């Protein structure tokens, strides 16, 4: 998400993509990710985690190369969806391996710490390389290298995993819910696609029909899961989780946070590059400040949340609101100094780092331990679905206000509308945090993007 986000303007130019097609470059990946996350975890249990991780990494490497070879927005977005599916095969195995390989609490805490550091470094490196490849000229278009770079990384990861990871026992006693996966995918696609494409095509009849169908598919999915729960089958989502009040409130907070996070990354990089006319390399370096702030706060939050509970998350939400308000003030009429852009992005990263890694623990606090695996899978699905929805709705508002004009004034207006929507969503999240429980469970894991 990070490396592609910085390169979005270059991708748009290289493939002559429309606003809606640009949104799908991000949202399509998140759709594939969200639809298959729970299934990815079940496949690891069913066939063995090492085997499924290797399949996922190989598929991710292959689809990355196809993304780099794309000659049309349709080809790119199709492969981005399957990139998301392959990520959904990998990530659940990664998190499960941390729990399996480090059963002792102290060692597991160290492993989680290194996992968090890795995510922080990856976000910094991704944004730097996204800007570097997009700006400098090579024998092929630079934006294609943001996908081709996954080829050597993928090969090294496959060889390393094959050599060093031990296989886990396969458990074929609980079949995974194929109809549930299909229904959830149809529901999400039927919701996201018309919300993105409908605005651009002035809401044709097919877009309204798909939105109605999405409601039907979500209802069908819910009834299907309830039926399987009652008959003792293996549903994709344990419906009994929704009877836990604090968990439901936490999921709504997750919905708000990730809708804000990914939509902000999209509209801010477009504003900086197309509105302020900063080149991709300079923009990528500015977002490195965001990554540094995020990683620093994530490391601090591990200890602070244990001591101060949800107050740390509430402080992060207030800092994020402050960063949004400062951006509205300083980005309103003319492009500010570059150092100020970096400071505001670092402040925003700091706020995000205080909230994002710890929200999982707060949300799962009231969930019984025997529901922990199912709750983590549902949390992850909501997280990725919210990301896609935020890119769709808030990103759509941004493009609607932009109206196709490339002047700074129009971008500033569009950015103000987008950030205004972010602020309203953040206020709602702050209210939800206020009613969540104030303790956390030790040893939780935050999920990567």
pLDDT per residue as tens digits for the range 9-23: 999 999 999 988 999
Instruction: Over range 179-200, report the average pLDDT.
Output: 89
Cα-based distances in Å from 255 to 239, 327, 383: 18, 23, 6
Question: Within 102-204, where are the H helices?
Answer: 105-135, 142-148, 150-164, 178-200
> What's the pLDDT at 381?
86
pLDDT per residue as tens digits for the range 57-71: 999 999 999 999 999
Q: What is the DSSP string of 62-117?
A: HHHHHHHH--SHHHHHHHHHHHHHHHHHHHHHHHHHHHHH--SHHHHHHHHHHHHH
pLDDT per residue as tens digits for the range 331-371: 866 778 899 999 999 999 999 988 887 787 778 777 776 67
pLDDT per residue as tens digits for the range 257-270: 999 999 999 999 99
CA atoms within a 13 Å half-sphere pointing along the CA-CB vector of 317? 24
Question: Quick check: 306 pLDDT over 80?
Answer: no
pLDDT per residue as tens digits for the range 373-421: 677 778 888 988 999 999 999 999 999 888 766 778 889 999 999 999 9
In the predicted model, what is the mean pLDDT of the chain?
Answer: 87
Q: pTM here?
A: 0.86
Question: Quick check: 446 pLDDT over 80?
Answer: no
> What's the pLDDT at 174?
62
| C-alpha to C-alpha distance for 387 and 87, rounded to whole angstroms | 15
Say which residues have a Cβ less than 8 Å from residue 327's Cβ, sequence separation at least 6: 344, 348, 415, 419
Instruction: Over range 232-244, report the average pLDDT.
Output: 84
Count of Cβ atoms closer than 10 Å to residue 16 Cβ: 9
> What's the pLDDT at 447?
45
> What's the pLDDT at 444?
45
> What's the pLDDT at 169?
84
Instruction: Over range 239-258, report the average pLDDT.
Output: 90
Higher pLDDT, residue 116 or 321:
321
Instruction: Over range 19-31, report the average pLDDT.
Output: 91
Structure tokens at 235: 């549903």
> What's the pLDDT at 421?
96
Question: Quick check: 147 pLDDT over 80?
Answer: yes
Instruction: Over range 232-237, report the average pLDDT.
Output: 83
> What's the pLDDT at 443?
44
Q: 52-56, 150-154, 234-238, 320-324 — which is least confidently predicted?
A: 234-238
Question: Quick check: 286 pLDDT over 70?
Answer: yes
Q: What percent of the chain clears pLDDT 70, i.e. is strictly above it?
A: 94
């Amino acid at each position: 998400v990070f490396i592609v986000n910085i390169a979005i303007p270059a991708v748009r130019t290289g493939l002559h993509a429309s606003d809606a097609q640009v949104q799908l470059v991000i949202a399509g990946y998140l759709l594939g990710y969200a639809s298959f996350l729970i299934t990815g975890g079940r496949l690891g249990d069913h066939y063995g985690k090492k085997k499924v991780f290797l399949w996922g990494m190989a598929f991710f490497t292959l689809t990355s190369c196809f993304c780099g070879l794309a000659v049309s927005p349709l080809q790119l977005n199709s492969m981005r969806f399957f990139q998301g599916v392959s990520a959904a095969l990998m990530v659940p195995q990664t998190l499960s391996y941390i729990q399996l390989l480090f059963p002792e609490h102290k060692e597991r805490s160290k492993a989680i710490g290194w996992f968090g550091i890795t995510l922080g470094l990856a976000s910094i490196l991704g944004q730097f390389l996204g800007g570097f490849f997009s700006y400098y000229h090579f024998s092929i278009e630079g934006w294609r290298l943001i996908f081709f770079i996954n080829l050597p990384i993928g090969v090294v990861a496959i060889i390393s995993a094959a050599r060093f990871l031990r296989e886990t026992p396969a458990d074929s006693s609980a079949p995974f819910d194929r109809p549930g996966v299909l229904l959830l995918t149809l529901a999400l696609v039927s919701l996201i696609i018309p919300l993105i494409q409908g605005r651009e095509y002035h809401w044709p009849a097919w877009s309204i029909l798909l939105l109605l169908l999405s409601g039907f598919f979500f209802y069908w999915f819910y009834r299907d899961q309830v039926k399987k729960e009652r008959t003792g089958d293996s549903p994709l989502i344990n419906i009994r989780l929704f009877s836990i009040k604090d968990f439901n409130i936490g999921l709504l907070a997750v919905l708000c946070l990730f809708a804000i996070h990914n939509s902000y990354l999209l509209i801010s990089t477009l504003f900086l590059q197309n509105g302020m006319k900063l080149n991709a390399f300079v923009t990528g370096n500015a977002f490195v400040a965001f990554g540094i702030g995020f990683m620093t706060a994530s490391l601090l939050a591990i200890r602070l949340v244990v001591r101060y509970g949800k107050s740390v998350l509430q402080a992060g939400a207030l800092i994020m609101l402050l960063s949004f308000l400062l951006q509205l003030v300083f980005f309103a009429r003319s492009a500010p100094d570059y150092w100020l852009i970096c400071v505001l992005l670092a402040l925003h990263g700091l706020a995000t780092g205080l909230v994002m890694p710890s929200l999982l623990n707060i949300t799962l606090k009231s969930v019984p331990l025997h529901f922990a695996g199912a709750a983590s899978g549902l949390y992850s699905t909501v997280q990725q679905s919210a990301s896609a929805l935020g890119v769709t709705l808030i990103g759509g508002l941004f493009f609607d206000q932009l109206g196709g004009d490339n002047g700074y004034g129009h971008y500033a207006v569009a950015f103000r509308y987008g950030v205004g929507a972010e602020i309203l969503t953040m206020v709602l999240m702050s209210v939800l945090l206020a009613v969540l429980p104030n303790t956390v469970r030790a040893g939780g894991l935050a999920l990567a993007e």
